[in-house]
A = this chain, B = another copy of it.
């Protein structure tokens, strides 16, 4: 049981708010993250995959393949996008870092062999990050 990690980035705009609340109520909860016209981040994503080392290749999994999965599931749809407006996953879901990592999990988990574990870490800024490993 060894884990490999691939780090990729994407740059996106978002706005945090709860539909049905007034702007003042949203500002009370989300602060400037609820500003009406969006702001943005350089998101940094680490994808960890754990499993046995293949005795022929010396790889748990080819990192090029993992990078391609991340590009297809995360970078292509989210990079240089507005998460609220451009990404159907967030049409009815507040794009907090927590919800972004859960969405990414749902997209990447089916692409990775079920025999492998999967863990994600996502930085929104140098100070703020989230982690998810599928545990309930």
Contact = CB atoms under 8 A, between A and B. Distances in A.
Nearest to A34: B80
B80 A125 contact: no
Interface residues of A, number: 65
Nearest to A57: B29
A75 to B, nearest CB: 11
B131 A48 contact: yes
B6 A128 contact: yes
A11 to B, nearest CB: 5
Contact of A82 (B38, B48, B50, B125): B38
A22 interface: no
Given A13-B40, A58-B96, A59-B96, 5 more contacts: A2-B101, A4-B130, A5-B129, A5-B130, A13-B82
